[in-house]
Structure 1
Amino acid sequence: MEAAICTLVTQFKMHAGSEGSSSTLSKDEFHKLVATQLPNYVKNASDPGAIDQLMGSLDENNDGELTFSEFWQLIGKLASKQGGFTQ
């Protein structure tokens, strides 16, 4: 599990900061991360409209960027679905 956490943090940091803040994901950074790292887990990962909608559902403070905590919600949802823990 430690390797998985390290990978998640590394991927977040690698994608964050190419535009604006190095501690958040912009819309474009989030789209690139999802398209390259989660293409089989996120439906319509190549559809910008679907990614915008997904980002909006995760962006708790509506600032147009995702913090790691906001991004982590997606990881939790995907892991729960993969494990069959969703209702």
Structure 2
Amino acid sequence: MSGTLQGAMEDLIKVFYRYSGKEGDKYKLNKKELKTMLQQELAGFLNASNDSTVVEKIMNDLDENKDGEVDFQEFVVLVAALTVACNSFFVDSLKG
């Protein structure tokens, strides 16, 4: 049996490839694939934002090499940033 962290890593990989490659490069998420993934996997984060351009902003922030797609490394940056934000919220809520 794998550890919790290893399982989380495997889950990240599986989620990425569940959405990538439905159109075009199977190793990258295009804007439509990224939007679908965010809507299905992170609906709470999207619903909390009133900004209709949130997917566009996320895509622009993540797409470091500006190829119009998000590769796995760029995707992990999103997950890490969201995890840090959630941790900060959790720590702050414990202090209150």
Q: TM-score range by the shorter chain?
A: 0.7 to 0.9
Higher strand share: 2
Question: Per the alignment, in what secondary structure is the counterpart of residue 81 of structure 2?
Answer: helix
Query: Once superposed, what is the RMSD of the aligned Cα atoms?
Result: 1.9
Higher helix share: 2
Q: TM-score, normalised by structure 1?
A: 0.87
Question: Per the alignment, in what secondary structure is the counterpart of residue 28 of structure 2?
Answer: coil
Change (3 A) 1:17 1:54: same
How many pairs align? 84
- Taking every aligned residue pair, what percent have the same amino acid on both sides? 29
Runs of 5+ unmatched residues, structure 2: 90-96
Counterpart among 19, 23, 39 of residue 23 in structure 2 = 19
Deviation beyond 2 Å, 4+ runs, structure 1: 41-47
Higher CA-based Rg: 2
Letter in 1 for 2:49: N
Other-structure match for 2:94 = none
Q: TM-score, normalised by structure 2?
A: 0.79
Q: Give 1:13 shift.
A: 0.4
**Does the Cα contact within 8 Å between 1:34 and 1:45 map onto a contact in 2?**
no
**Does the Cα contact within 8 Å between 1:41 and 1:78 map onto a contact in 2?**
no
